[in-house]
Amino acid sequence: MNKNNPAEIYIERTIEAEIRPFINRREVISLVGSRQSGKTTFLNHLQKELLKEDKKTVYITFENIQSRQLFENPEEFKSYYQDYDVLIIDEFHYAKEGGQKLKYLYDITDKKYIISGSSSLELTFKTGRYMVGRIATFKLLPFSFEEFLSASDKPLSNLFKLEKPLSKVIESSFLKNLETYLIYGGYPAVVLAKSNIEKEKILEGIVDNYLLRDIKDLLSLITEEELIKLIKLLAGQIGNLINYNELSTLSGLKYKQLLNHLEILKKTYIIDLIRPYSTNRRTELVKNPKVYFSDLGFRNYILGDFRSFDKRQDFGSMIEDYIYTKLTNNQTIISRVNFWRTKSGAEVDFIIEKEGKVVPIEVKYSSTPVVGKSLYSFINKYKPNITYIVTKDVEKSIRIDKTEVFFIPAYKFSLDPLL
């Protein structure tokens, strides 16, 4: 293997474990996520693994015109690939009437179909209405911090889930790697780049040549001026409440245009919006959300700011964004994520809920974190069994009445023990 060629390097993705149980099930597997997040590399890897298991597997991409044309006639497509057990179809969203034809093939063959697309908007719209009850969708985003470590410092990644206390040297290595990850993000090509200059240049290509172009096409924009203005405004206020009127005025977009732009940015995995926690779901939907970015490298490129943590004021917001991404990457563990805010201004960063259990999570990226008044208020009102405070390097636990409060460093934060 040529280790200098990122295209030949495969970093194990945690999503494989989630997808594996569905390989032998009847449902079509749908893989969605932004461009350059590693979908094609993952699908090629999956093909190799299935071939090892004696499953006759073929990789097809609908970027190829001939493959798309063959799919135009489902009967010919079926006959052409009749000797295969598994059909992996990349860039499925390029197919005309793809969902309808896939349903036909699903109903008349016993093949396993695995499809992918670059945005949930295109793929879901073109397949969802035809494949209800027949499809399982998985989201592949840029590298998580665990995957980043596997790519950049494999020996360190082996210590990631070590439960005993770490030495100061190892702890410092984790902190340094986390900072690099949050500054440059997790796009695989960026992570595998050797120098910071190379990382920034690759980010430029990903953002300008792929992501912004895709979004511009989806919105049918003549110019991307207002779009870039909007993204820059959002990038400067991660973790803060969105003010729709202010965004509309500053971006030059009318209110309905603004909502449409925000929806497209969500569907293309650029941003996500988080709603306030309420026992009344209708109340959640009408209140202003907070915004987070799916990849902080994208966000920092838009701002033109790749400074280290000791030279910037927004590192706390970046840690908060990181924790939100970790919480939402596995929806099989957590049913929903909200924030809590009262009229008097009390606020808790995240509230997660699973099977009736409520767990507040507060981000305090410091070596001297304390339980703030807002968190005390939430604990007194809702009396959760456990609470988490995400710190820089402090790991301990205390009790507040019947609530166990766990302090955990950001680099060790994991979903597994939460619920």
158 CB burial (10 A radius; 0-12, 13-18, 19+): exposed
Reported as a pLDDT band with limits 50, 70 and 90, residue 131 is: confident
Compute φ and ψ for 357, nearest 5 degrees: -90, 135
Tell me the one-letter amino acid at 224.
Answer: E
pLDDT in tens, 250-285: 999 999 999 999 998 998 889 999 999 987 655 544
H-run or E-run covering 293: strand 290-293
Domain ranges of the chain: 14-139, 168-320, 330-412
Q: How far is CA 182 from CA 155, 189, 193, 410, 413, in A?
A: 20, 15, 15, 11, 14
Which own/partner contact pairs does 348-353 have at CB distance under 8 Å and 24+ positions apart? 348/374, 348/375, 348/378, 349/239, 349/320, 349/323, 350/274, 350/323, 350/324, 351/277, 351/378, 352/327, 352/418, 352/419
Reported as a pLDDT band with limits 50, 70 and 90, residue 388 is: very high
- Find the mean pLDDT for residues 49-72: 97
Compute φ and ψ for 353, nearest 5 degrees: -140, 135
Residue 312: predicted pLDDT: 96
Instruction: Fold for 168-320, please state it.
Output: Arc Repressor Mutant, subunit A (1.10.10)
pLDDT in tens, 166-225: 899 999 999 999 999 999 999 999 999 999 999 999 999 999 887 887 788 778 876 788
Angle at Cα 144 formed by Cα 138 and Cα 148, nearest 5°?
135
Q: Does domain 14-139 have CATH number 3.40.50.300?
A: yes
Nearest to 419 by CA among 370, 368, 352: 352
- Whether pLDDT at 331 is above 90: no
DSSP β-ladder status, 28-32 and 403-409: unpaired
CB atoms near residue 133 (< 10 Å): 5
Nearest to 297 by CA among 407, 167, 180: 180
Residue 280: predicted pLDDT: 65
How many residues are present in the chain? 419
Residue 254: predicted pLDDT: 94
Tell me the one-letter amino acid at 141.
Answer: L
